[in-house]
Amino acid sequence: MKHYIALALAAPVLVSAQQSMWGQCGGIGWNGPTNCNAPASCSTLNPYYAQCLTDWNNPATSTTTSRTTTPVTTTTTTTSSRTTTTTTTTSRTTTTTTTTTTTRTTTSVPQGTGLNAAIRSKGKKYFGFCSDSNLINNGDNQAILKAEAGQLTGENSMKWESIQPNQGSYSWSGADTLVNFALNNNMIVRGHTFVWHQQIPQWLKNINNKQTLTSAIQSHIAAVAGRYKGKIYAWDVANEVFEDNGSRRSSVFSNVFNDWTFLDVAFNAAKAADPDAKLCLNDYNLDYSSSKLTNFVQLVKDLKSRNVPIDCVGTQSHLVVGNGAIPSYKSTLDSLATTNTEVQITELDIRTSSSPSQQQMNQQVTDYKTVATACMRTSSCSGITIWGVSDRDSWVPGVFNGEGYALLWDNNYRKKSAYQGFLDGINS
């Protein structure tokens, strides 16, 4: 017991802190809170990352078939043309941001004066960020979204585990909040994601029969893409279907089908549900692994040759400052362009040490410029999404120990030099 008390005194913050929804709560190297604020509970995604997600199996928080329990209270009123959502934050633990909030939260920021306006003036379709209700309702973050973004992607709210946690039970509030905020602020939405091996519910993982899995994919996509029909610019119909060595990734989908035709099922279902949305195949490390890139491009060509409706490819672009993949980033986009689909940079961040040297900071400016320039020089590259606004809210420090500093705004929502580098790339 003495030992336990000593530990508690040595690390009082760690013992008492509760992580909020979608924050990290465990994994190798993690020293932060391991408990989650209700209704979230800690869910282990891989040995390096556990995340606070809604515990749909907890009877105390999930008693209805239409599950709407999230940390955000949402009141919905329907108007003739669109659903207007008023959102109230319950008890948020933003103790450290109060000083900057007063100076930075401004409701008079004109929309689209920032990066989105810049990239559109050069002929591209959009610039945007990932977000979700927790950050949309953060004043500092929201002001930046309104000033800079023409597009949003749900960071978590549209993932299968979030939106259909139990079979036949859909939880719409997080995704509704995101979509309504985007549409009310003249932003387009990338939907993310249907077929993915992570953040999927156990009931789905348990399916071992092709017919059952086919109908599960079809009904999920019909429900989700159907609900947002006409409101989504592009859907990541499938995500991360390759291993880094270029082989087909093991998942409930690939294991049960034992070939690629789970993609046919998913893309056709998405086309039926929302014929005007662009349908994308999204993956990461296409910039690092040549075998992955080669096989990814071939798969898209194969899908097209058998008339599977695929319109776009997403390259996530979780990059590392100074890495050799960045000088050759343009050639990655050129390879993707050979699919004759729209090429989208879907999850860009360029991480480095969480306490970077001046040299690393300078290199990051160059690297952001290089990536933006590559998109501008590739006619089929239609837009860029950065995976978060502020380093404070980035997924990177939670997953890569000691790394961070990956985004364009720092921990206090101040623009970094990388912002200017990125803008210079757009204008290059």
Ligand X SMILES: *[C@@H]1O[C@H](CO)[C@@H](O)[C@H](O)[C@H]1NC(C)=O
CB of 244 to ligand X, least distance (A): 7
Angle between helices 261-273 and 290-305 (to 10 degrees): 60
Q: Are 251 and 361 in contact (CB under 8 A)?
A: no
**Residue length of the chain:** 428
Q: Is 243 a catalytic residue?
A: no
DSSP β-ladder status, 234-239 and 312-315: unpaired
CA–CA dist 424, 428 (Å, integer): 6
**C-beta closer to ligand X: residue 243 or 264:** 243
Q: Is 148 a catalytic residue?
A: no
CA–CA dist 364, 407 (Å, integer): 10
**C-beta closer to ligand X: residue 227 or 249:** 249
Reduced to 3 states (helix: H, G, I; strand: E, B; else coil), residue 263 is helix
Instruction: Supply φ then ψ for residue 350, to 5 degrees.
Output: -130, 100
**C-beta closer to ligand X: residue 96 or 247:** 247
**C-beta closer to ligand X: residue 293 or 312:** 293
Token reading at 403: 């790394």
DSSP β-ladder status, 49-54 and 24-26: antiparallel
Q: What are the residue ranges of helices labelled H in 105-251? A: 115-121, 133-136, 139-148, 160-163, 173-184, 202-205, 210-227
**C-beta closer to ligand X: residue 79 or 245:** 245
CA neighbor of 40 nearest in space, from 23, 53, 22:
53
Residue nearest to ligand X (CB): 245
Token reading at 366: 């160059």
Residue among 240, 243, 342, 403 flagged as catalytic: 240
CA–CA dist 187, 374 (Å, integer): 23
Judged by the rule CB under 6 A, the positions of this chain that interact with ligand X are 243, 245, 247
Q: Residue type for 70, please?
A: T
- How many C-beta atoms surround the C-beta of residue 108 within 10 A? 6
CB of 141 to ligand X, least distance (A): 36
Cis peptide before 309 (omega within 30 of 0): no
- How many C-beta atoms surround the C-beta of residue 97 within 10 A? 20
Reduced to 3 states (helix: H, G, I; strand: E, B; else coil), residue 142 is helix
DSSP state of 419: H
**C-beta closer to ligand X: residue 177 or 289:** 289
- How many C-beta atoms surround the C-beta of residue 353 within 10 A? 13
DSSP state of 193: E
**C-beta closer to ligand X: residue 65 or 245:** 245
Residue among 155, 342, 347, 403 flagged as catalytic: 347
Catalytic residue annotation: 240, 347
